[in-house]
Amino acid sequence: METIIGDVLKVSVCMATYNGEKYIQRQLDSILKQLRADDEVIIVDDNSTDNSNNIFDNINDIRVKVYKNKYNLGFLATFEKSMKLANGDIIFLSDQDDIWMDNKVEKILDVFETNKADIVCHDAIIIDNNNNILYNSFTEIRKINTSAMRNFIFNSYTGCCMAFRARLKEIILPIPADAIYHDRWIGIMGSLFNMNIQFAEDKLIYYVRHGNNASPMSKRSLTVIILDRIRLAKVIIARWLLFKRKVF
């Protein structure tokens, strides 16, 4: 049951963090100023070894809830944990080091309500560590496509540019380790189960590319790619059969 607060759905922002002391506060500031009193930010820290804990300990905002992994789980399991802990009706995914534009939440909620969307994605401006613009449009690089088969072959989704209705957690969770990427898994599940996926052309975050970031176009061996796809196919089929049995 979705909770309407003043005709607006309650928002949960899910953030997975790891050694992000340089960026977390900046990202939180960009998010919190556009959330309402009943919204929340769920942070799951993956056993950081830097000074992230000092930042968390000094957060003075009841909307922010911090959970710390006792040992490193990896980004996939950490994001999954944050989604499980979320109580909102609309779940926004957030990286630790990007910057949200002031109207992101308002714009995305409007798409959900106007288009009766289940999943909403948006564009981003890519910047470097010095805030220099590298690319004016992330979607021009990723060539967004909602086809499950297309995303099985090449992931066109970006988690930090996604939001979805919490009721989809029944289908999305748990996220299998062989899904590899949480954003691709969410997108494929949405397509597979005929969810209404909407793309907003608005550029609503500054996506920070660091010098040590892995490029989305980075090359891996053909053998690794094939094995990854075989494992992904198995978990997709397993999830489909699970819900087919529930329905029929």
Q: What is the pLDDT of residues 99-129, one digit of tens each?
A: 999 999 999 999 999 999 999 999 999 999 9
Q: When comparing pLDDT for 220 and 181, which is higher? A: 181
Range 142-149 average pLDDT: 86
Cα–Cα distance list, 5 to 9, 59, 83, 88 (Å):
6, 25, 21, 11
Percent share of the chain, pLDDT over 70: 92
To the question of domain 4-247 being in CATH 1.10.150.240, the answer is no
Say what the pLDDT of residue 145 is: 86
Domain regions of the chain by residue span: 4-247
- C-alpha to C-alpha distance for 132 and 207, rounded to whole angstroms: 11
Say what the pLDDT of residue 5 is: 47
Q: Say whether pLDDT at 215 is over 50.
A: no
Q: Which of 10, 13, 8 is nearest to 64 (CA)?
A: 13
Neighbour count for residue 226 (Cβ, 10 Å): 10
Range 170-196 average pLDDT: 96
Residue 37: Cβ-neighbour burial (10 angstroms; 0-12, 13-18, 19+): exposed
Percent share of the chain, pLDDT over 90: 81
Confidence of residue 213 (pLDDT cuts 50, 70, 90): very low
Range 202-228 average pLDDT: 77
Confidence of residue 214 (pLDDT cuts 50, 70, 90): very low
Q: Which residues pair with 120 in a beta bridge?
A: 163, 198
Neighbour count for residue 239 (Cβ, 10 Å): 21
Q: Does pTM surpass 0.85?
A: yes
Q: Which structure tokens are listed for 181?
A: 């990427």
Decide: 24 and 53 in contact? Cβ < 8 Å.
no
Q: Which of 183, 199, 27, 217 is nearest to 123 (CA)?
A: 199
